[in-house]
Amino acid sequence: MNQRERRVKLERLAKLKDIHVRVMYYRCMDKSVSEIKNILELAHEQKTNEKTVWNRFTKIFEILDIKGDDKEADLVREYSPVFLEFVKSEDDWQRWGLIRAEMLRQAEELSSRSDPESSTKSTLSPESESPKSEAQGVRNEPKLTSTHPRSSPAPALQQTDGTQLEGRVRNCPPWPIIAIPLLILCVLAVFASIVGAGLIRSFVATAINRTQPAQPAIQVSASASPTIEPVAVATQVIPPSLPTLTLEPSATFTLEPTPTTTVTPYPAGYEFFDDFEDGLDPAWVEVLGQHIISNGRLTASETTVLSIGDVSWRNYQIEFDMEIPKFPCDVIRNESNSIGVRAADRNNMLLFRYTYCSTQWEYLVNGDQNTVPGTNTRWLKQEIHITIRVEGSRIEAYDGSNLLSSLVDENYQTGNIYLKILHDTNDPTFYDNFKITLLN
């Protein structure tokens, strides 16, 4: 893990809340969801079930940006080494604020840390020099400041007995710089020995021919017969042929992909239900504002946005009861209660707005709102039961069993849920009996 990866992981872990830290700690301790649920119940947490544990895991995956088919394994593999450096026992939950501060401090230190110097400094100190072995009888020398350029040899150091020590170089060159030239020299030496062997043989053969005595002329007794002189025969020395080097192609290895097991933390038929009798379920995430639980119903002290679910959700149904304020009557952007589905984030989703008098669907793209044509409906209701069904490319909104509006959309494929609560001191909004069911 390099410094940049560690800094990113520290910054993400510091965003977790203490409720997330608890379930993550037990998961890093190899506890199952059922075991974590039992531990939390022993800690006197209210309304703890496996659904609550899964909801907390969903938020952890979102904060740590863990995506893929096996999120739990990725969580343990990628984050447990750093996480367990700081959270080593259950007592650490009591001081999570201090631990978060230390994580952010280390992340800031890694961010501001400069790269190590690439060049060798000209000033050598005893701390940076490596002392020679005692067998050589050399001790560490005092600090020496060199004025010579880097390419010139280091000056000799004078000992008290008058002998000289060769200057020591602070940084040894990396091994490839030494190994590559040595390899080239070895190849050249082999080649020279092969060529040299042929030249030596040719030289020896020529020398032998030159040292042999010349044959005397053959004399014939007859005076009329000519004298036969010996004829020199040229000897051609053929140097030995060089061996032919054949380079065989190196073997190739094919890496087979490792089969993965898809783990679906939210199977089809999974249900989430919150009646707000015991407060806001931990599965909710407060994006902005301040929610209030009043007489077992959800409202807010200011305009508030909550989110719930996983960005991988595709098909689901949402139901809730609500009491709508009588003002404003028409749908006014940023001044209407609304619920967003298939949300990639708070600025990109399909948005259903509703007031005392009307409803309509809108596209929210990078924060810009555009009304979906043909989806505006009129009504006069203050207490209603709304159902939103998101399945495939068809999106539908119901008042009880009556279809209010529908649309077909191919752009928004998956996403979680956002809920906006409008605040009016004199005429507040109330939500109750919020239910989510995952469809096939």
Q: For the segment 289-336, what is each residue's pLDDT rounded down to a tens digit? A: 999 999 999 999 999 999 999 999 999 999 999 998 877 776 666 678
Q: Which residue, chain included where needed, has tokens 């060089």?
A: 242
If you average pLDDT over each of 84-88, 171-175, 226-230, 285-289, which comes out highest? 285-289
**What average pLDDT score do residues 274-279 get?**
94
Contacts of 258 (CB under 8 A, 6+ apart): none
Residues 59 and 20: beta-carbon distance below 8 Å: yes
Nearest to 364 by CA among 344, 350, 343: 350
**Cα dist. 14→57, 77, 108 in Å?**
16, 18, 12
Contacts of 8 (CB under 8 A, 6+ apart): none
Category of 81 on φ-ψ map: left (φ > 0), alpha (ψ -120 to 50) or beta: alpha
pLDDT at 241 over 60: no
Q: pLDDT grade, residue 48 (50/70/90)?
A: low
Largest CA distance in the chain: 157
If you average pLDDT over each of 33-47, 111-125, 257-271, 400-414, which comes out highest? 400-414
Q: Which residue, chain included where needed, has tokens 């990109």?
A: 348
Residues 37 and 44: beta-carbon distance below 8 Å: no
Confidence at residue 267, expressed as pLDDT on a 0 to 100 scale: 80
Domains of the chain by start residue, with CATH: 3-112 (no CATH), 271-438 (2.60.120.560)
* More confident site: 132 or 90: 90
Q: What is the mean pLDDT of the chain?
A: 75
* More confident site: 219 or 160: 219
Q: pLDDT grade, residue 380 (50/70/90)?
A: low
Confidence at residue 382, expressed as pLDDT on a 0 to 100 scale: 79
Q: Is 394 helix (H, G, I), strand (E, B) or coil?
A: strand
Q: pLDDT grade, residue 347 (50/70/90)?
A: very high
pLDDT at 394 over 90: yes
Between CA 133 and CA 164 the distance in angstroms is 17
If you average pLDDT over each of 231-235, 253-257, 332-336, 360-364, which comes out highest? 360-364
**Cα dist. 386→317, 319, 422 in Å?**
11, 6, 16
pLDDT at 406 over 80: yes
Confidence at residue 225, expressed as pLDDT on a 0 to 100 scale: 45
Confidence at residue 191, expressed as pLDDT on a 0 to 100 scale: 76
Nearest to 96 by CA among 13, 24, 18, 11: 18
Question: pLDDT above 90 covers what percent of the chain?
Answer: 30
The sign of the dihedral angle between the CA atoms of 272, 277, 281, 284 is positive
* More confident site: 38 or 405: 405
If you average pLDDT over each of 103-107, 182-186, 237-241, 278-282, which comes out highest? 278-282
Residues 102 and 32: beta-carbon distance below 8 Å: no
**What average pLDDT score do residues 271-283 get?**
94
DSSP-assigned letters across all residues of 350-368: EEEEE-SSEEEEEEEETTE
DSSP-assigned letters across all residues of 183-229: HHHHHHHHHHHHHHHHHHHHHHHHHHHHHSPPPPPBP-SSTTSPPBP
pLDDT at 403 over 60: yes
pLDDT at 258 over 80: no
pLDDT at 287 over 90: yes
pLDDT in tens, 101-130: 888 998 888 888 744 543 444 333 334 444
pLDDT at 144 over 60: no
pLDDT at 54 over 60: yes
Between CA 321 and CA 79 the distance in angstroms is 40
Confidence at residue 120, expressed as pLDDT on a 0 to 100 scale: 41
**What average pLDDT score do residues 204-230 get?**
50
This model's pTM is above 0.75: no
Q: pLDDT grade, residue 169 (50/70/90)?
A: very low
Confidence at residue 351, expressed as pLDDT on a 0 to 100 scale: 93
